[in-house]
């Protein structure tokens, strides 16, 4: 997608609870890294995370993984906080 459309300033990627028993419901953490790369994203905002605990892992496992492994700015506003795209 990134090759076809060019880079994306911000990719809002689904980062909710995951489980091997329901692989088509949510992205796995390593898939999020690939999605960001495939989109040629300049920054990533994880969405659909941290609200409900339905997986077998800690509620913040995905975010910790992204902070440790994503080589891009990670935008994580507080719940309900507005974010202006392009803001510093």
> In this predicted structure, what is the pLDDT of residue 88?
64
Tokens 């300049």 belong to: 42
Please state, in angstroms and as integers, the Cα–Cα distance from residue 60 to each residue in 5, 17, 25, 29, 63, following that order.
Answer: 32, 9, 18, 11, 5
For residues 77 and 86, the model is more confident at 77
> In this predicted structure, what is the pLDDT of residue 25?
81
DSSP 74: B
3-state secondary structure 40-66: CECCEEEECCCCCCCCCCCCCHHHHHH
Q: Label residue 18 left, alpha or beta by phi (over 0 means left) and psi (-120 to 50 means alpha).
A: beta
State pLDDT tens for residues 13-63. Answer: 998 888 888 888 888 899 999 999 999 999 999 998 877 777 777 788 899
Q: What is the mean pLDDT of residues 75-83?
A: 89
């Amino acid at each position: 997608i990134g090759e076809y459309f060019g880079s994306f300033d911000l990719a809002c990627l689904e980062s909710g609870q995951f489980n091997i028993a329901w692989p088509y419901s949510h992205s796995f953490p390593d898939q999020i890294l690939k999605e960001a790369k495939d989109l040629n994203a300049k920054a990533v905002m994880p969405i659909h995370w941290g609200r409900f605990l339905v997986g077998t892992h800690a509620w913040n496992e995905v975010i910790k993984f992204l902070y440790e492994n994503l080589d891009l700015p990670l935008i994580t506003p507080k719940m309900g906080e507005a974010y202006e795209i392009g803001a510093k």
